[in-house]
Amino acid sequence: MKRFRSIFIDLDETLYPKSNGIWTLISNKINEFITHELKLPLESAIQLRQQYLARYGTTLMGLRENHAIDPYKYLKFVHDIPLEEFLGPNPILASMLSKISATRIIFTNASAEHAQRVIRLLEIEDYIDQIVDIIALDFCNKPNPEAYKKALELSGTSDPKTSLMVDDRIDNLHPAHDMQITTVLVGSDVVDEKIDYTVSSITDLINTVPDLA
């Protein structure tokens, strides 16, 4: 059986359920940022954001490419939310992560600061070995294949076939599969030829993926 040496784990809506409301807050902050910075009505801001998401994979990339927006200002603004009202200790998640023998890496289009807050509130900081955030990636985001190459390089992973990637978005997993990384989709049981495993919750990971513990 394959022995995984590294596991790349998405952050938002992967480490915690989609239903808890955090992404709605972040989404609203993104819309607010666009309306303020580009002087657009809300409806136009939402339409522009949808266009950028479809084309670039993130709103931030579209804003940088087309409007020279300061990415640090954007990240600080959109992640300025009361996470402590939505997240708390998750001992089941902590226990599961503690049993994983591979290097555990957060791989996110968000900032490391936001990731650290999430990890701290979930009380899993002892079970995360590294954070590869959008800044470490030089603002090259998933699903751009270059982001995955950079993440492998930063983690010291020389062979993609020894890696596992966990994400809640199918689009983010397709490039990983193309690089021979094993893929796990969280929160959905959608059948897709580029998805190796599906789990309803990340806490089901060890019970679903062979040779991970």
CA distance 137 to 123: 25
Cβ 204 vs Cβ 171: under 8 Å: no
The strand order across the sheet containing 130-132 reads: 130-132, 103-107, 6-9, 163-167, 182-186, 197-199
Q: What is the pLDDT along the chain (213 residues), one digit of tens a residue?
A: 568 999 999 999 999 999 999 999 999 999 999 999 999 999 999 999 999 999 999 999 999 999 999 999 999 999 999 999 999 999 999 999 999 999 999 999 999 999 999 999 999 999 999 999 999 999 999 999 999 999 999 999 999 999 999 999 999 999 999 999 999 999 998 999 999 999 999 999 999 998 888
Domains present along the chain, CATH in parentheses: 6-16+87-208 (3.40.50.1000), 22-78 (1.10.150.450)
Other C-beta atoms lying within 10 Å of the C-beta of residue 2: 12
pTM of the model: 0.95
Radius of gyration of the chain (CA): 17
Total residues belonging to the chain: 213
Tell me what pLDDT residue 148 has: 98
Distance (Å, rounded) from C-alpha 81 to C-alpha 159? 37
Instruction: Give backbone dihedrals phi and psi of 201, rounded to 5 degrees, phi first.
Output: -140, 150
